[in-house]
Amino acid sequence: MKSRLMALVVCAVVAGCDSKPASPAPGPGPTTTPPVGDGKKEPAKTDSKNDPAAAPDQEIAISGKVSFDGTPPKRGKVQGIDSDPLCAAQYTEEKPLYKDELIVGADGAICDVLVWVKSGLEGRRYPAPNESMRVTQKGCHYHPHVFGIVAGQSILVVNDDGTTHNVHPLPKVNGLNPENTAQRAGQENTWTLPSPEGPFRIKCDIHPWMSCFCLVSPHPYFVVTGGDGAFELKNLPPGEYEIEAWTEKLGAQSKTVTVGGDKKKAKIDFTFKK
């Protein structure tokens, strides 16, 4: 069940900005051990079996939309792609490679916004999925551009291009081995990230336009918006939560929301300006 739920999230993220919706985050039940690898010795929470307040509730959902206020900025083309003929050959004048840093639809919906429970789940431990999060370099471009994993999960970075890339993750909390590495065509590397930390950049040292962002979350309640800017965080335990919407280019915003009891559904929207 867990792997199926994680698969849903991975699909949602990989689906990207051209497709419709962001799928809900999953909600496996909490366990009693301290959070994964954050180095703090927090007291373990009561087991969900003994504490109904800690148990996930399938009817609980926090949903909304992330929008841009004002005239949507035009998505720029990547400059300098001619520096690698094997990258340039994959694009044309008519079908260029566009920048991923800010993607706003005609209706103002912002794509690739990471929406997650920033606080409210402290003291609970959520096991990391066994499956790696797959990140592909294809067309001299990372897919997906923004994604999350659960602390303890690994990322598998694959080179599906005919050219050489250099994968250079820049986490602030997690140490990595190797810190960065060149990847020839078809090569892949796996990094495990044990400690929670906010979105950090992974870049290519050979192609300066290439980057993606990885959240290492202490829990699985995160989702990335698709082309419709919509998000839904489902199956949370009742509680008060700080929900953060993180963007690469426009900063982050957070809102506090309480769900549970008679109020199982909450709607919150985020609006960003340039």
Chain residues binding Cu ion by CB under 5 A are 165, 204, 206-207, 210
Report the nearest approach of Cu ion to the CB of residue 103 (Å). 20
Backbone angles phi, psi at 241, to 5 degrees: -130, 145
Question: Number of helices and strands (H, E) in the chain?
Answer: 2, 19
Rank residues 134 and 264 by Cβ distance to Cu ion and give the closer one.
Answer: 134
Beta-sheet strands, E only, within the chain:
61-68, 103-104, 110-111, 114-119, 133-137, 142-143, 146-150, 154-159, 165-169, 181-183, 188-192, 197-204, 211-217, 222-224, 230-234, 239-246, 252-259, 265-267, 270-272
Q: Is the dihedral of CA 27, 23, 267, 60 positive or negative?
A: negative
Closest approach of Cβ 71 to Cu ion, in Å? 32
| Beta carbon of residue 161, minimum distance to Cu ion (angstroms, whole number) | 8
Burial of 128 (0-12, 13-18, 19+ CB in 10 A): buried
Nearer to Cu ion, 109 or 204 (CB): 204
Q: How far is the CB of 203 from Cu ion (least distance, A)?
A: 9
Residue 45 or 165 having the CB closest to Cu ion: 165
Of the pair 84, 269, the CB lying nearest Cu ion is at 84
Closest contact distance (angstroms) between CB of 97 and Cu ion is 12
Residue 70: how many CA atoms within 13 Å on its side-chain side? 5
Nearer to Cu ion, 124 or 207 (CB): 207
Q: Least Å distance between CB 254 and Cu ion?
A: 33
Of 261, 245, 265, nearest to 110 (Cα)?
245
Nearer to Cu ion, 193 or 210 (CB): 210
First to last CA, the chain: 41
